[in-house]
Amino acid sequence: ELQYVPAEIEPKWQNLWEETGLYRTREDANRPHYYCLEMFPYPSGKLHMGHVRVYSIGDVVARVKRMQGYNVLHPMGWDAFGMPAENAAIQHGVHPRLWTYENIDHMRQQQKRLGVSYDWEREVTTCAPDYYKFTQWMFLLFYHRGLAYRKKAAVNWCPHCVTVLANEQVENGRCWRCGTEVTKRELEQWFLRITDYADRLLEDLDQLDRWPERVKVMQRNWIGRSTGAEVEFALEGRPETIRVFTTRPDTLLGVTYMVLAPEHPLVPALIEHSSERNRVEAFVEEMRKASEVERTAAEGEKRGVFTGTYAIHPLTGDRVPIWVANYVLLDYGTGAVMGVPAHDERDFAFAKKYNLPIRVVIRPEDRELPTPPVEAYVEDGVLVNSGRWDGMHNREAIHAITAHLEEMGKGRFATSYRIRDWLISRQRYWGAPIPIVYCDHCGIVPVPEDQLPVRLPEDVSFEPGTVSPLATNEDFVQTTCPKCGGPGRRETDTMDTFMCSSWYYFRYTSPKETARPFDPEAVRKWLPVDDYIGGIEHAVLHLLYSRFFTKVLQDAGWVDFSEPFRHLLTQGMVIKEGAKMSKSKGNVVSPDDIINRYGADTARLFILFAAPPDRDLEWNDQGVEGSHRFLHRVWRLVNQNREVFHAPAGDRMAPAARDLRRKTHATIKKVTEDFAQRYTFNTGISAIMELVNAIYAYPAEADPFTKAAAIRTVLLLLAPAAPHICEELWSQIGGTGSVHEQPWPTYDPAELVTDEVEYAVQVNGKVRDHIVVSASAGEEEVRQTALGAEKIQEWTGGKRVVKVIVVPKKLVNIVVKG
């Protein structure tokens, strides 16, 4: 008998699969297409268990779909630009390109060892010129559509290193290298106008009925659309007005003060002649240094200063004191709010603290509010102290008051968004150069498409001290203006790596295209992606940007759909001892160790079996052992039953054979649903385990055909999860071709029908129990089974049975007396 030695069979089959091109994407015209995609990794160095989990999930789906007769696109690639490569260059003196490509080679090897069925001929690497050429092309597409623009924005700046820092390089407000406190610096930067697409990004979420609700909620909050009104407040003794955004124009008559954000552009002019000028200036300076998070934390202290100036209430003409406070943000709404302490919690706290008046204008319909109020009343109600609107329901008043303001020219209906335009400039080396030239004559000039890629120069200085490493290479910087041919200077910033990952799934459909980012025909065939599998940490940025790109490509006529991912599966974390695996916790289990010890099939099986994919998975060594033992059991099942594959047919209608056939078909049904519809791989695998048990229990003398068919079914159903062992055993039983090219087994509904009948059992006309008997049971057997049922005896005990009526295949009625 052969031994199960994963270290022998796994590399053997991996090499054979590669030689025969088993996983090359098939494009038969008569088969439907299926695109199964896992989020591509950042080549950080080596795979962790989280990677193993996503790839195992994706691989099961891809393999099942291939067996079900689809053309399957199942590609892999590298999100290869980004900070860690550059940090390695700074810290260890390796060039980012070398570091990155070495990591890619290593991780690709690990993926191959896992036996994942990728079509490696479609691999994409975002840091390769043939790829980033088209990331630059995308930038130009946005630029020419008026969706890319330049404006000044603040970046993190380390005064000691004299360099810009990425957000990830700021640790607790200090530089990651030297620990100096980080300051802000204004630089010209490129933005993409994602806010133009805010409404569509929000509304199209409703189409995504196969996305987790949690992800959609996060995207909705990120976009943060609020509807309400803008109200114009005149200023006392000044010509300007203050415009506020409010979601509650119904509370307008409750306004007792106004607040401007500390950086509001009107503040300096407002306080110029004010007695409060010095105090306000000091406060503004202090706020400039605090982070947004600190300033707006809900529990955080609300602080402010009076400016010494007043606005005029648009309806009453009352004087309203103007304050500056930490809780108002410059870049939300208009950067100014009307303070309504009676109906807003933050305003209430602020008014209490600074002794500002509180005026109630809404009260509940069924009770009085205490005077003075002890908290903000934020619910719906009817208006009071609001003149002509008194008694109106506040929902109605929102509309009525805004309409009134509009008539007076003092306000309008308005919508506000939390989402901001996407800042894509990075003062970093390891990214795609922004394809722009600055010319003294022509200004900003986009690099023409036929001059792409703008190549990333090899030779730059990574030493901090310049704004952007690319600026240290004069050959790169100095160029000719594409428009006038005069001297020009290249943009030296690179693009946010989220630009690279926003379109890679298009590239896989036609990765060898040289003149366009992708072949629209190929995209029409494969997209939208059928399954997209990845981490919840991408719920907002990557997934939102990808949706944005798709909509822009749709508007430009490159694709004919608006959403790139039909079904999104966000897998849970892999944890050990209740915590996420991480170096700092010292609880990391290395995929290599597990593969060395048990083989890839065990690793994959355990990971799929231990939890449903969207839940966190608790790593446990006994579980791994258990999965490994199960594979041994499957191995022995085949090896101890070689003869059944050659034996003559026996009695196929004997009860044991019928039972095993029923079990086999029921398992096919269950596993098909679990693997290809519900994505609950754990329960599918446990169904296969039960079938294996049933085969072991099958009597030696029973029909061998049925047994052989059941074993073959186990191999076919298990092949997507444990591809190597199933391939090996398939070949041992003389199966033709690869197990992975067999048609997925289908079940016969007729085989599922059980030969049993259920009867309701009544005692004196009331149903007291149900019994199950063989369909062939005669009336007497049914009668005896009913009378013998435990629950029935509770009702008949001590009484006289006067009659038993059997309605065939339905009902037994027992009549008792006494």
Q: Where on the chain is the footprint of Zn ion (CB under 5 A)?
A: 439, 441-442, 481, 483-484, 486
Least spacing, CB of residue 329 vs ligand ANZ, in Å: 4
Strands (E), 11-141: 33-38, 71-73, 77-78, 124-125
* CB-nearer residue toward ligand ANZ: 330 or 442: 330
Contacting residue, 86, 230, 344, 728, with ligand ANZ by CB under 6 A: 344
User: Among candidates 223, 255, 226, 227, which has minimal Cα distance to 344?
Assistant: 255
Encoded tokens for 24? 């090359």
Tokens at 191, concatenated: 């933005």
Q: 333 contacts which partner out of ligand ANZ, Zn ion, none, CB within 5 to 8 A by kind?
A: ligand ANZ
User: Does 601 sit near ligand ANZ (CB under 6 A)?
Assistant: no
Tokens linked to 28: 């038969």
664 is a site residue for ligand ANZ (CB under 6 A):
no
CB of 140 to Zn ion, least distance (A): 17
Q: What is the DSSP string of 637-668?
A: HHHTTGGGGTSPP--TTSHHHHHHHHHHHHHH
Residue placing its CB nearer to Zn ion in the complex, 193 or 483:
483
3-state secondary structure of 268: helix
The two structure tokens encoding residue 782: 């049914």
Q: Is 510 helix (H, G, I), strand (E, B) or coil?
A: coil
Taking CB under 6 A as the rule, does residue 226 contact ligand ANZ?
Answer: yes
358 binds ligand ANZ (CB under 6 A): no
**Residue 442, contacted partner among ligand ANZ, Zn ion, none, CB below 5-8 A by kind:** Zn ion
Show the tokens assigned to 362: 């809404």
Element (H, E) at 350: helix 345-354
Q: Which is nearer to Zn ion, 439 or 717 (CB)?
A: 439
CB of 487 to ligand ANZ, least distance (A): 44
Quick one: 488 or 613, whose CB is closer to Zn ion? 488
Instruction: Region of 784 please: left (phi>0), alpha (psi -120 to 50) or beta.
Output: alpha
Could you give the string, one character per residue 41-70, with x where binding to ligand ANZ holds by CB under 6 A and - elsewhere?
------------------------------
Report, in Å, the least distance between residue 341 CB and ligand ANZ. 9
Identify what 483 binds: Zn ion, ligand ANZ, none; CB under 5 to 8 Å per kind: Zn ion
What is the rounded CA–CA span in Å between residue 519 and residue 276?
64
Distance CA 428, CA 433 (A): 10
Q: Is 343 in the site for ligand ANZ (CB under 6 A)?
A: yes
Nearer to Zn ion among residue 278 and residue 451 (C-beta) = 451
The nearest distance, CB 484 to Zn ion, in angstroms, is 3
Main-chain dihedrals φ then ψ at residue 156, nearest 5 degrees: -75, 135
In contact, 281 and 361? CB cutoff 8 Å: no
Per-residue mark of binding to ligand ANZ, 303-342 (x: CB under 6 A): ------------------------xxx--xx-x-xx-x--
Who contacts 164 (Cβ-Cβ below 8 Å, separation ≥6)? 155, 156, 157, 158, 185, 187, 427, 467, 468
* Cβ proximity to Zn ion, 213 vs 450, nearer residue: 450
Residue closer to ligand ANZ (CB basis): 78 or 257: 257
Amino acid identity of 329? L
- 539, interface contact from Zn ion, ligand ANZ, none, CB < 5-8 Å by kind: none
Q: Residue 758 burial (CB < 10 Å; 0-12/13-18/19+)?
A: exposed
Minimal distance, residue 279 CB to ligand ANZ, in Å: 21
**How do the residues of the chain divide into helix, strand and coil, expressed in percent and rounded to 5?**
40, 20, 35
Least Å from the CB of residue 384 to ligand ANZ: 14
CA distance 436 to 430: 17
Least separation in angstroms between residue 414's CB and ligand ANZ is: 10
219 interacts with ligand ANZ by CB under 6 A: no
**Burial environment of residue 492 by CB neighbours within 10 A (0 to 12, 13 to 18, 19 or more):** buried
User: According to the binding rule CB under 6 A, does residue 774 interact with ligand ANZ?
Assistant: no
Query: Which residues are at the interface with ligand ANZ (CB under 6 A)?
Result: 226, 245-248, 251, 327-329, 332-333, 335, 337-338, 340, 343-344, 416
